[in-house]
Amino acid sequence: MSDLRDLYQELIVDHNRRPRNFGPLEDADRRAEGHNPLCGDRVTVYVKLDGERIADVRFEGAGCAISTASASLMTLAIKGKTVAEAEALFADFHGLVTGHDEQPDALERLGKLAVLAGVREFPSRVKCATLAWHTLNNGLHGEQAPVTTE
Ligand code: ZN
């Protein structure tokens, strides 16, 4: 178990240092901002849609290692998926980090996102891990009010 924890820790450190899909997306169809006042994390998520498919997704912002790594892993997980698939993955991810409503086979679908499972032991960090996802959700549904996880 401790080897697995080390691996998870390494992945989080790596994605925090070198976040993937980081920076603005010039021709984004959707853009949403999120803020986690408990920790100070801020994120902006950009999405380019091709019909129902997420053709591209990028993010920018500043926050703790968990929020940055989670946003980075999220972009890798949802690029190329349909909006409905991304929403289903968010439900799986939410179950993973909160320990509530866990779906069968969720770990298989989550892949590398499973590295964030450890935050469930730290309720205040759950908001860090889910900020990018809540923000994405807001963007996909075209809501204008900034997300706050408070
Ligand atoms: Zn945070």
Q: Is 23 exposed, middle or buried (0-12, 13-18, 19+ CB in 10 A)?
A: exposed
Note whether 48 and 19 are within 8 A (CB). Answer: no
Q: How far is the CA of 82 from the centre of ligand 1 (A)?
A: 28
Confidence category of residue 146, pLDDT binned at 50, 70, 90: low
DSSP state of 81: S
DSSP string, 87-123: HHHHHHHHHHHH-SSPPTTHHHHHGGGGGGGGGGG-H
d(CA 41, CA 128): 7
Q: How far is the CA of 41 from the centre of ligand 1 (A)?
A: 5
Q: How far is the CA of 132 from the centre of ligand 1 (A)?
A: 11
pLDDT of residue 145: 60
Q: How far is the CA of 107 from the centre of ligand 1 (A)?
A: 23
For residue 79, pLDDT beyond 80: yes
Q: How far is the CA of 50 from the centre of ligand 1 (A)?
A: 31
Q: How far is the CA of 130 from the centre of ligand 1 (A)?
A: 10
Q: How far is the CA of 44 from the centre of ligand 1 (A)?
A: 14
Q: Which residue has better confidence, 101 or 42? A: 42
Helix ranges (DSSP H) in the chain: 2-17, 65-78, 83-98, 106-110, 123-140
Average pLDDT over residues 20-41: 96
